[in-house]
Amino acid sequence: MDVSQNYTQNDVSGLKESELESRALIRTASSLNLIKDNWETRIGELDEALEKNRKLWTIIASAMNEDDCPQPIEIRNSILSLAMFVFQRTMDIIANPAPQKLEVLININMNIAKGLSGNAENK
């Protein structure tokens, strides 16, 4: 394990679940934004960034389907619908890549992260 991995693991060990989720969403949004802003030189990173974002949203969607999910059913259904949109947009970007198509994924991740960090502060 290199020093940066060790730091990252130690950095997040004391965080609440919502804070971890928020950081993961921000991290994937930042990767997508870097690609969007540097399309010509970073397009080769697009598939990996989209895959990481898809995996993150798969985890989020799976959590909404858990029996012990604390979220109200309306919130769970909204998050599941949002996840389906993210998956569909991801497939669209893979089929027809364009930098402006990344903006909606970036905005979704940042807005959900903002909401999660607000919830973490209130607990």
Q: How confident is the model at residue 117 (pLDDT cuts 50, 70, 90)?
A: confident
**Can you tell me the distance from the alpha carbon of 113 to that of 63, in angstroms, rounded to the nearest whole number?**
16
pLDDT of residue 119: 57
SS3 letters across 46-84: HHHHHHHHHHHHHHHHHHHCCCCCCCCHHHHHHHHHHHH
pLDDT digits (tens, 9 = 90+) for 64-115: 999 898 889 999 999 999 999 999 999 999 999 999 999 999 999 999 999 8
What percent of the chain is modeled with pLDDT above 70? 84
pTM above 0.85, yes or no: no
Residue 12 pLDDT exceeds 80: no
**Can you tell me the distance from the alpha carbon of 115 to that of 119, in angstroms, rounded to the nearest whole number?**
6
Q: Other C-beta atoms within 10 Å of 113: how many?
A: 21
- Of residues 17 and 44, which shows the higher confidence score? 44
> Maximum Cα–Cα distance for the chain, whole Å?
45
Domains, in order of start, for the chain = 17-122 (1.20.120)
